[in-house]
């Protein structure tokens, strides 16, 4: 949530600026303008916090999915390597550590 912390502040500031401009263009008295801007700032601060929370949850879910996909790919590569080693041993070949490392380097 650290990366998305400025979203609510940005939304609030933009909404406040728009409210001030609208009040200035419509020649609203200054006390009424202050009331409107305060209301707008509070409402859009709440909206910004909600948006921040939603974005955080989406990013968190995407990161978890990426980690899970990476883990599944690693497991599949390990199974494939084990199958290749079993096939090589069944053929009577001797598999050494250097050959295993070379196979891993080729996969990457």
103 inside domain: yes
Cβ-in-10-Å burial (0-12, 13-18, 19+) of 85 comes to: middle
Q: Give the model's pLDDT for residue 25.
A: 96
- Give the separation between CA 28 and CA 67, rounded to whole angstroms: 54
1 inside domain: no
1 has pLDDT over 60? no
**Which range marks the domain in which residue 92 is found?**
6-107
38 inside domain: yes
44 inside domain: yes
- Give the separation between CA 99 and CA 89, rounded to whole angstroms: 13
CA 107 to chain centre: 28
Half-sphere exposure of 101 (CA within 13 A, CB side): 3
pTM of the model: 0.61
Read off the pLDDT of residues 36-91 as tens digits, 9 standing for 90 and up: 999 999 999 999 999 999 999 999 999 999 999 999 999 988 888 888 777 777 77
- Give the separation between CA 77 and CA 64, rounded to whole angstroms: 20
101 inside domain: yes
21 inside domain: yes
Read off the pLDDT of residues 13-31 as tens digits, 9 standing for 90 and up: 999 999 999 999 999 999 9
Q: How many CB atoms lie within 10 A of CB 57?
A: 11
56 inside domain: yes
90 inside domain: yes
Task: Report the number of distinct structural domains present in the chain.
Answer: 1
């Amino acid at each position: 949530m650290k990366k998305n912390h400025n979203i609510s502040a940005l939304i609030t500031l933009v909404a406040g600026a728009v409210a001030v401009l609208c009040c200035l263009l419509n020649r609203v008295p200054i006390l009424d303008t202050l009331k409107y801007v305060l209301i707008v700032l509070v409402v859009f601060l709440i909206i910004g916090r909600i948006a921040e929370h939603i974005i955080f949850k989406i990013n968190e879910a995407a990161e978890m999915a990426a980690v899970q996909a990476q883990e599944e790919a690693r497991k599949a590569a390990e199974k494939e390597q084990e199958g290749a080693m079993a096939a090589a041993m069944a053929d009577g070949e001797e598999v050494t550590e250097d050959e295993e490392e070379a196979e891993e380097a080729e996969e990457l």
